[in-house]
Chains A and B, each alone.
Chain A
Amino acid sequence: MKKSIVAIAMALMATQSVNAETFRWAGKTDPQTMDPHAVNSAPVIGFLNNVYEGLMRRDRDMRIEGALATRWEPIGAKGWRFFLREGVKFQDGSDFTADDVVFSYERATKPQSDVSSWFATVTDVKKVDDFTVDFYTSAPNPIFPDTITNFMIMDQGWSEANNAATPAKETENYATRNANGTGAFKVVERQPDLKTVLEPHTGWWGEVEHNITRAEYTPIQNPATAVAALLSGEVDMVNPVPTQDVSRLSNSADVKVLEGIEARVIMFGFANQAETLKYTADAGKPNPFRDPRVRKAVNHAINVDAIVQTIMRGSAQPVSQLVSSTMRGYSTSLAARPEYNLDKARSLLAEAGYADGFSFGLKCPNNRYINDEAVCQAAVGMLAQIGLKAELEAMPVSNYWSELRANNFDMYLLGWSPGSFDAEHPIRFLVTTPNPEKKLGSWNFGAFSNARVDELLPQIQSEIDDTKRQAMLDESAKILQDEAGYVPMYVQALLWGARKKVELVQRADNFFILRWVTVK
């Protein structure tokens, strides 16, 4: 009898220790593919950072460090040379060489690829020897290594043998549900929408810091269910935690909330160019938002601190420009937001000839950003204080972008996360005059246009000297602030929940990196 009790107790302890090492985590959406070149979205790229690796990677503080390349240097002004790490094995055991890099570049620039914009300036890629690769660019490109940290290297032999040499977008191929990277974890089971199981890649080149033997990812789309699963210990980590659950989770004995600042800046944009207003009783009247004074008045009338405190419950950070302070190229000299000052706003409106205000249409998504609709509702109230009567129309994000592309707005809400973590990124997509041929300003819906910014962008993109580059970035940011082309409000917070026994790192790009996880 005693023996059996001891045996049972030991068996229980054994299962418990197994549980401690099987790490389970949940997110809101399932990464829709395991192909690192097919979909350029944070859930996919973030997940696959555990399985595949790029030439470079980002460390805990978003700084760039070597991964599959040990070092890299500019080839004069012509491009970049990457020196590859030797002795790296893919998860199927084959060797990593320069051929895989060239192959991955070709794969990632095919029309079916969703990541080809990273290589817009690349003219040619050449293998120098087995462990040296040159990327030639049409102009000097100082931030090229930053741009391609998420460019993940696939094995040429594996991809070709499995007919996956081209990314699949409308259909699937072998690489959609299978993976063969060089990363610290390999995919051992993939059931789309149900679960994805990872196990450590035993032949990984790096130094192992985690103590995970098996990791299971499950999408749980209802936030309340995800929080319940965390509280009951069925999952060890969830991302995101709804803002209203933060205080309750923080008070729990077994659970902690990790809060950080994300890269995404939430802002208002305007119809900068439209001749007339499109909505409300004032539709058809001349568009007041063409006047920078009116846009500046909006900037002074929005009480960002109040929005952050009440609607975001403190989980956000006011911001003065299109990137947050942790991004490269942030303008420290412009750190202060235009003050909240209704008198100033009213006098600016009076100067522009709108002392009595006007009414207009405000477009807003209702399921894209944290509390997006509530923020817009608050803004409607704040703008009413200076006589601007906004008529709010909130809609799901699947309808939102096509509405903005069709120019159906007077003012709108937008969030932007710079993919390259550099201040050049929002200038390229949001601030320069739209030019589809040059792939510029593709998200500049209001068609904000400033000749000086347009002139500065190519110089910023090719300036090697950091000081000169920063000066030009500062100048662009200053112009945008003076013209109030956008009204940047705050940076969203990252809210993760985890069991207290889990040690993990919350990186600013919202990527969850398994190799930094330890379970006590």
Chain B
Amino acid sequence: MFSFLVRRFLQAGLVLLIVGFVAFSMFNFVGDPIDNMLGQEASQADIERLRSVLGLDQPFVVQYWKFLINALDGNFGISYRQGRPVAEIIAERAPATLELAAVSGLFAITGGIVLGIFTAIRREGFLANFIMTVSLIGVSLPTFLIGILLIYLFSVELDWLPSFGRGEVVDIGGWSTGFLTASGLKALILPSITLGLFQMTLIMRLVRSEMLEVLRQDYIRFARARGLSERAINFRHALKNTLVPVITVTGLQLGSIIAFAIITETVFQWPGVGLLFINAVQFVDIPVMAAYLILISVMFVAINLLVDVLYVAIDPRLRS
């Protein structure tokens, strides 16, 4: 077990190194931050001065090495755009993304399971078929379009919900939360639906097909024969057996909810790390881009590591 863990950790470290290397080699193609930092009247001397101050005149391998050394120290550099430490900016922005991810994850799981069960039990019903058809929209429409449609319906036409931002937030020990104010909660609704819709339809379809599969099993038939109520069969026996693969997929999807919040955050001007990243790409803010990519890859590596460890813990055959 111990040697397995050590091996996995080493592999995880290697993945992070490679992600960083690929990221830095790509930054050369994203563009030149100098033009964004200086006005149009800047002279060639100003440009060169800034380039050398930022170390951009060095080859990317050297830039990468310096980044690594500093990152090991917990220092992710200074944002080109804001002039503030990147770690501070990300810490400031993370609560917005995490709260959005949590709410949309919750929406996706509850919505997906409830609708999945419903469409599985009422397989032939009109409503179930209707839901299945509509769910195709959730899978196939791009996120930004769903976001804009929701904004036009609920903000412009009906005037119920805000079209952008987080509303009022309350600061608790450096964590800004939107859960405690009415406007903060209202502001969460549209972005959460936009971000969670794809995952919800995914989970719903997964639950439905698993459920249909389980309902065909012999033990369900025996349960019916024993005269158990339909409710007990569906929820106590069938649902429980359905959830195993659902939980695996859901765990893996959680990472992508955070990583793919970028588009939703851009549409709703949601002040999270995804929007920060988009701004950084446009401005060629290399320290912010690098820190974000490393952070996201740490998250994915951690989730995968956890899954691997759990598998070993669950399945004795993998331990040998």
Contacts and interface: CB of A to CB of B under 8 A. Distances in A.
B32 A221 contact: no
A172 B268 CA distance: 28
Chain A interface residue bracket vs B: 35 or more
B78 A170 contact: yes
Nearest to A425: B41
Given A224-B148, A225-B268, A115 B39 contact: yes
A234 B278 CA distance: 24
Contact of B269 (A40, A221, A398): A221
A484 to B, nearest CB: 23
A114 B276 contact: no
A232 B163 contact: yes
A15 interface: no
Contacts of A439: 43
Contacts of B40: 40, 419, 429, 443
Contact of B164 (A116, A229, A367): A229
Given A232-B159, A399-B32, A218 B269 contact: yes
A362 interface: no
B228 interface: no
Contact of B279 (A170, A172, A193): A193
B267 A114 contact: no
A258 B319 CA distance: 71
Contacts of A117: 41-43
Interface string A435-461: 010010011000000000000000000
A234 B164 contact: yes
Interface centre among B41, B49, B276 (most CB of A within 10 A): B41
A192 B285 CA distance: 15
A219 interface: yes
B43 A442 contact: yes
A32 B32 contact: no
Contacts of B41: 40, 115, 117-118, 419, 429, 442
Interface string B105-120: 0000000000000000
Nearest to B284: A398
B268 A194 contact: no
Interface stretch (B81-89, B215-223, B244-252): B81-89
Interface in A70-114: 111, 114
B164 A169 contact: no
A41 interface: yes
A172 B84 contact: yes
B279 A221 contact: yes
Interface string B37-71: 11111111110011001100000000000000000
A193 B151 CA distance: 21
A193 B271 contact: yes
B148 A170 contact: no
A400 B152 CA distance: 35
A217 to B, nearest CB: 12
A402 B159 contact: no
Nearest to B147: A225
A162 interface: no
Contact of B266 (A194, A221, A229, A419): A221
A116 B39 CA distance: 11
Interface centre among B46, B81, B83, B275 (most CB of A within 10 A): B83
A192 B44 contact: no
Contacts of A219: 269
Contacts of A231: 156
A510 interface: no
Contacts of B43: 117, 436, 439, 442
Given A228-B155, A398-B32, A193 B276 contact: yes
A225 B284 contact: no
A360 B313 CA distance: 64
Interface of A: 32-33, 39-41, 111, 114-118, 168-172, 176, 192-194, 218-222, 224-226, 228-229, 231-234, 367, 396-402, 419, 429, 436, 439, 442-443
Closest 6 CB pairs of A and B: A398-B31, A40-B39, A172-B83, A117-B41, A399-B31, A402-B32
Given A169-B83, A419-B40, 18 more contacts: A39-B37, A39-B39, A111-B49, A118-B41, A168-B83, A170-B80, A193-B275, A218-B269, A220-B269, A225-B268, A232-B163, A396-B282, A397-B35, A398-B282, A399-B30, A439-B43, A442-B43, A443-B40
5 contacts: A39-B38, A228-B155, A397-B31, A397-B35, A399-B31
